[in-house]
Chains A and B, each alone.
Chain A
Amino acid sequence: MKKKEQIVSYMFILPAFLLVFILLLIPMFQNIYYSFFEWDGLKKPVFIGFRNYSMFLSDENFLISFRNTLIWVGFTLIFPVMGGLLIAIFVRGLAFEKFFKSIFFIPLTISFVATGIIWTYMFSREYGVLNNLFNLFGIEAKVSWLTNVPLNTFSLLIAWTWQQLGVNMVLFLMGLATIPQDPIEAAIIDGANKWQTFVYITFPMLRPITTIVITMAMVNSFKAFDIIYVMTRGGPYRSSETLAVTMFRETFTLFRMGYGAAISVFLSIIVITVSAFYIKRMARKDLLYY
C-alpha cells in the first residue's frame, strides 16, 4: 500500500521531470562538454581542454563584448532600477496615479522585438523621431544613434530602459504598499524631513524587494539579446555586442560551436553567481511569483 502511494506520487512528477531533464538538463551538461572542443558543427570535434576559455583574453571581440555587458549591467542598475524606484515614490499619491502607472506599464505588454523595431525607427537618422524632434527645437543635428560607436550601446540602453523601467516600478510600488505607515509618521512628528524618512525608514524596509529587483534586473541585463539583435545585430563591426549576442554570432554565424559553448558557460557562471542571492531567498521558501 505504502509502496503504491510512492509510485503514484512519482507518476505525478514524472512528465514535468522528463521534459525538463531531456530537453534542458542533459543539453546543459552536453554544452559544458562541448566547450572543451574545437568544433565547426560538421567535422569531428577536437579536444582542446581549456583553450576556448583562455582564448577569451586574447579575443578583442570578446573583450569588447564583455565590457559592453558590464556597461549594460551598470546602466540597468542606475536607470531602470533606481529610476523605477524614484518613479514609484514620485507617483504615489499624485492625482492620476493610476494613469501614470499604466503609462509606464505599457512597454511591458509588448515584446523585445517590437520594442527594438519601434526604437530603431525612433533612432533612424533621416526619418527618426528623435532627430526630427531636435530639429523642432532648432538643433540641426543628424545623430547616427545606432552606428556611431560609443553612442550605439547607449542608444540600445535607452530602448532597454523604456521597456524595463515599468516592471521595477511595479515591484517597488508593491513593496512600498506593504510598508507600515506608523514609523514614518512617528519620524515626521519627531522632525525628520522627507529625505531622512526615506533613507532611514522607507529604504531599509524596502530591502527585501530591493534585493529581488536588483538581482532580477542584473540577471536580465546579462541575458539581454533580442533588443540588441533587432536594433544593431551587435554591429557595426561587432561594437555593440554583449556576451549573449557574441555567443549567438560565434555559434550560428561563424560556426565556432566550441567557442560559443565556452562563452555560454562563462555567461552562465556569472548569472548563477548573481542569482545566488535570489536562490538563497527562495531556499527560505519565500513565495515570490515573479
Chain B
Amino acid sequence: MRRNIQKIPLYFIVVVLVFIWILPVWTTFLVSFKSAEDFVNQKFYQMPTKISFLDNFKNVMQKYRLHEHFLNSLLYATVGSGIAITTASMAGFSIIRLKPRFNFLLFIIIYSGTLFPFQMYLIPMYKFFNTIGLYDTRLGMILIYAAICIPFSLFVYRGFYTTIPKEIEDAAKIDGCGPLKSFLYIFLPQSIPPTAVVALFQWTWIWNDLLFGMVLTRSREVRPIMVALASMSGYAGGVIPLIMTGVIFTSVPTILLFVLLRKFFISGMVLSISNE
C-alpha cells in the first residue's frame, strides 16, 4: 500500500513527460487535417472545421511531386540495403568460417568505413562522381548508400556467424559440401535475425538520409525523399498543413518497418547484450 502511494509522484513525472512527447505528434496530425484557412484562424488544439487531409495530400503530390521522390528513395533503400546484405553476409561468412589469411585485418579495414563522420567523404565523392559521370544518377546513389551500409552490416553478420555451431558445417564438409553450398544451405537459412536487424537499420538509414542526397544529386528525377521534404519547408514559411502532410507521408514506410520488425529490434539488441 505504502509502495503505491510512493509511486504517485513518479506517475506524475512520467505522465507529464509523455504529454510533452505526444504533443508534437498529435499537433502534426491535427495540422495535416486542417485547411490553410483553419490553420490560420484556429488555435493549435482546435479540431478542424472540415477534414482536409485528402486535399492537402493531393496538393502535396501535385505541387511538390513527393511521390516521385518517394519512389526514388524506395529504390535506393531497397536495392542499397539489398546489396549491403548480400555482400556483407558473404564477407562475414568468409571471415568467420573460411578464415583466409588477414581475415581480421580485412574486417577492420571494411569496418573502419563506419567510424568516420560522413563529412569526411563528401568532397572527394562529389568530385569523383562528377568525373566518372555518376553525379546525379540513380546508380551512383545506390552505390554510395550500399557502401555506407556495408561496414555495419558486416559487423552484425560477423557477430552472428560466430554463434552458429561449427559441427553442422563440419559434418556437411565431410559429406562433400563446398563453401558456397554451406553458405547457401546452412548459414543463409539461419540468418533471418541478423538480416532483419540490418534491413531495419540500414533501410531506415538510407530512407532518412539528407546529406548524400543534397551533395550528390541535383535533378528532381534523382533526388531522394528527405531532400525533397527538407526543401518543402525552407527557412521561413511554406504552407504548414501541406508540409505536415508531407511529414506524415514520408514517415509511413519507416514507421511500418519498425512496427513489422519490432520483434527483431528488441531481440537483436537483447541477443547482443546477453553476449557480453
Q: Which residues of A contact B (CB under 8 A)?
A: 5-6, 8-10, 12-13, 15-17, 19-28, 30-31, 34, 41, 87, 90-91, 94, 100, 103-104, 106-114, 116-122, 124, 127-129, 132-133, 162, 170-171, 174-175, 177-178, 208-209, 222-223, 225-226, 229-230, 232-233, 235, 244, 247-248, 251-252, 257, 260-261, 263-265, 267-268, 271-272, 275, 279, 282, 285-290
Q: Is the CB of A8 within 8 A of B13?
A: no
Q: Is the CB of B94 within 8 A of A13?
A: yes
Q: Is the CB of B91 within 8 A of A12?
A: yes
- Closest-CB distance, B133 to chain A (whole angstroms): 15
Q: Is the CB of A31 within 8 A of B183?
A: no
Known: A87-B14, A111-B254, A118-B247. A12 touches B117 (CB 8 A): no
Q: Is the CB of A111 within 8 A of B251?
A: yes
Q: Is the CB of B230 within 8 A of A230?
A: yes
Please indicate the chain A residues that have their CB under 8 angstroms from the CB of B100 in the complex.
6, 9-10, 13
Q: Specify which of B25, B91, B122, B128 is in contact with A17 (CB 8 Å cutoff).
A: B91
Known: A12-B91, A111-B254, A233-B235. A129 touches B23 (CB 8 A): yes
Q: Is the CB of A12 within 8 A of B101?
A: no
- Closest-CB distance, A241 to chain B (whole angstroms): 13
Which candidate, B51-59, B142-150, B164-172, is the interface stretch facing chain A? B142-150
0/1 string, B132-176, CB within 8 A of A gives 1: 000000000001101110110011100110110000000000000
Does B189 sit within 8 A of A, measured CB to CB? no
- Closest-CB distance, A181 to chain B (whole angstroms): 16
CA–CA, A252 and B217, complex, Å: 13
- Closest-CB distance, B82 to chain A (whole angstroms): 13
Residues of B within 8 A of A (CB-CB), count: 102
Q: Is the CB of A289 within 8 A of B124?
A: no
Does B177 sit within 8 A of A, measured CB to CB? no
Q: Is the CB of B116 within 8 A of A272?
A: yes
- A10's nearest neighbour on chain B, judged by CB, is B100
Q: Is the CB of A100 within 8 A of B121?
A: no
CA–CA, A17 and B235, complex, Å: 40
CA–CA, A279 and B108, complex, Å: 10
Does B1 sit within 8 A of A, measured CB to CB? no
Known: A127-B240, A132-B43. A27 touches B124 (CB 8 A): yes
Q: Is the CB of A121 within 8 A of B240?
A: yes
Q: Is the CB of A109 within 8 A of B251?
A: yes
Q: Specify which of A16, A118, A244, A288 is in contact with B88 (CB 8 Å cutoff).
A: A16
Q: Is the CB of B125 within 8 A of A23?
A: yes
CA–CA, A19 and B113, complex, Å: 10
Q: Is the CB of A174 within 8 A of B269?
A: yes
Q: Is the CB of B247 within 8 A of A17?
A: no
Does B66 sit within 8 A of A, measured CB to CB? no
CA–CA, A288 and B211, complex, Å: 26
- A32's nearest neighbour on chain B, judged by CB, is B120
Q: Specify which of A12, A23, A133, A247 is in contact with B94 (CB 8 Å cutoff).
A: A12
Please indicate the chain A residues that have their CB under 8 angstroms from the CB of B31 in the complex.
121
Q: Specify which of A20, A94, A222, A223 is in contact with B7 (CB 8 Å cutoff).
A: A94
Q: Specify which of A28, A90, A288 is in contact with B273 (CB 8 Å cutoff).
A: A288
Q: Which residues of B contact A (CB under 8 A)?
A: 7, 10-11, 13-14, 17-18, 20-25, 27-28, 31, 39-40, 43-44, 83, 86-88, 90-91, 93-95, 98-101, 106, 109-110, 112-113, 115-128, 143-144, 146-148, 150-151, 154-156, 159-160, 162-163, 178-180, 183, 197, 207-208, 210-211, 214-215, 226, 229-230, 232-233, 235, 240, 243-244, 246-247, 250-251, 254-255, 258, 268-276
CA–CA, A127 and B145, complex, Å: 38
Please indicate the chain A residues that have their CB under 8 angstroms from the CB of B207 in the complex.
111
A-B contact list, 29 entries, CB within 8 Å: A12-B179, A13-B91, A20-B113, A21-B109, A24-B113, A28-B116, A90-B13, A94-B14, A109-B254, A110-B247, A117-B247, A121-B31, A121-B244, A122-B24, A122-B27, A129-B24, A174-B270, A174-B273, A209-B273, A226-B211, A230-B210, A248-B119, A248-B122, A252-B122, A268-B116, A272-B115, A289-B269, A289-B271, A289-B272
Known: A17-B91, A28-B116, A109-B258. A103 touches B22 (CB 8 A): yes
Please indicate the chain B residues that have their CB under 8 angstroms from the CB of A127 in the complex.
39-40, 44, 240
- Closest-CB distance, B179 to chain A (whole angstroms): 6
Please indicate the chain B residues that have their CB under 8 angstroms from the CB of A114 in the complex.
229, 247, 250-251
- Closest-CB distance, B188 to chain A (whole angstroms): 13
Please indicate the chain B residues that have their CB under 8 angstroms from the CB of A223 in the complex.
117-118
- A104's nearest neighbour on chain B, judged by CB, is B21
| Residue of B146, B226, B230 ringed by the most chain A CB atoms within 10 A | B230
Top 4 A-B pairs, shortest CB-CB distance: A12-B94, A9-B98, A27-B124, A111-B208
Q: Is the CB of A12 within 8 A of B123?
A: no
